[in-house]
Chains A and B, each alone.
Chain A
């Protein structure tokens, strides 16, 4: 393991746990999971054009979130069913155009392939994500529990929802390097639901979720490298393991 990998794991883990904690409160767990599949065609195009995969993934994710946002705002259609269509479609396209030799890595991630540039990106974007999310968290939570109350208090709810989706797109684009497009959902969801089991205030919930994200990612990576196994699945297993332990301490 290089120091690049360790630094990336720490920052991506914290940011994924933090942003994920808000996704779970918004009941966006599955949207986030499905959304991560949209990154695949972007990754593939980036590989074909030989540009940084983060940029390719973010580009298609951005298109994906604009679609989600428009669906939420402009139509009465069921978001769920449209997401089901849209995201399986992009997974199918992604699988077809991703070069065969890269497919496994794109789907399940490989944190050992993280370069110096990737780790700088991870640090900068993770810090920005956490800072921005913290800054808007009050208004975001208010909008989650009562959209009318938030609007009446001057929160620009629709704009905030869009900003939030961009933050989700950034964390997904960062995280797929570590766990791949198929397993990215686990990185944002599992720390949050684990934390929800053992905390009662917003502050402790978001903090614990970030730390569980960090421990899962770093711990999974270390175990994977010791046992010479692929990092993505081991990271997901590590966070699932922490979830199981949290059940013992779950508060009702």
Chain B
């Protein structure tokens, strides 16, 4: 864990005079995983868009100079018959050398030697499974060698070849390319295991700190307003 790469101070976002995010403060250091949790409509995605500079805000969002941000959107607006192959999608952010694309795909567990590799790249984007699409989106964000990945809501438990979850993939990526990750998630179990810090958001900032310190009964009650208990086994709060 090294230097600070993001510092957010008194971040407030208003839409039509209504505060959708209010007074949020946190920092992210190199190599950390920060998880943002909160109920639907709590402003998590809007916060992300502010970090990316896509919506106006007040307060400060200070990125380390020269930092490259990779963004993994929650979904794409493609119908099943949208004429764009997965391989073509990988070149939309600009033409890149083939090796760079292959490297990024390998980083997310799509190896060239695998039978599905070529087949997958020829397939229409709209026909990929959600696990395949998520891996492709991560690979896409990895091209261009980002220092930090902003990941909007990885779905829990997705695995492409039955080998690893998205969270395990993050761990591996962190070890291999020292990636910093900010993710929005509902999967408290995974957050507990994989994140360094947790930011609880419900329009206002509820908490910020180490998962074992802040992920307690009181917080969950505050965030979700129900008697939710966090047990250390698979459960996904998005179902609530």
Contacts and interface: CB of A to CB of B under 8 A. Distances in A.
Interface in B155-173: none
Q: Which of A144, A152, A153 has the most CB of B within 10 A?
A: A152
B94 A138 contact: yes
A138 to B, nearest CB: 5
B78 interface: yes
Contacts of B125: 145
A156 interface: no
Contact of A145 (B54, B71, B84): B84
B88 A145 contact: no
B92 A142 contact: yes
B76 interface: yes
B83 interface: yes
B124 interface: yes
A203 B77 CA distance: 19
Given A138-B93, A145-B76, A152 B85 contact: no
A218 to B, nearest CB: 24
A141 B81 CA distance: 14
Q: Chain B at the A interface: mostly helix, strand, loop or mixed?
A: loop
A139 B93 CA distance: 7
Interface residues of B, number: 25
Contacts of B91: 138
Q: Which of A139, A202, A204 has the most CB of B within 10 A?
A: A202
Interface string B185-228: 00000000000000000000000000000000000000000000
A102 interface: no
B82 A145 contact: yes
A199 B77 contact: no
Contact of A201 (B77, B78, B84): B84
Contacts, number: 60
Given A25-B82, A200-B124, A202-B83, A152 B69 contact: yes
Given A141-B92, A148-B52, A152-B52, A196 B77 contact: no
A145 B78 contact: yes
B73 interface: yes
A148 B73 contact: yes
A79 interface: no
B92 A138 contact: yes
Nearest to B94: A138
Nearest to B95: A138
Interface string A37-58: 0000000000000000000000
Contacts of A195: 83
Interface string A128-165: 00000000001101101110110111000000000000
B145 interface: no
B235 interface: no
A39 B89 CA distance: 36
A167 B143 CA distance: 31
Interface in B83-121: 83-85, 88-89, 91-94
B49 interface: yes
Interface of B: 49, 52, 54, 69, 71, 73, 75-78, 81-85, 88-89, 91-94, 122, 124-125, 150
14 contacts: A141-B84, A141-B92, A142-B92, A145-B76, A145-B84, A145-B125, A148-B52, A148-B54, A151-B54, A152-B71, A200-B85, A201-B84, A204-B83, A205-B83
Given A142-B93, A145-B78, A202-B83, 12 more contacts: A25-B82, A25-B83, A145-B76, A145-B77, A145-B82, A148-B49, A148-B52, A149-B71, A199-B83, A200-B85, A201-B122, A202-B84
Top 8 closest pairs, chain A to chain B, by CB: A205-B83, A152-B71, A142-B92, A145-B76, A153-B93, A201-B85, A202-B84, A152-B52
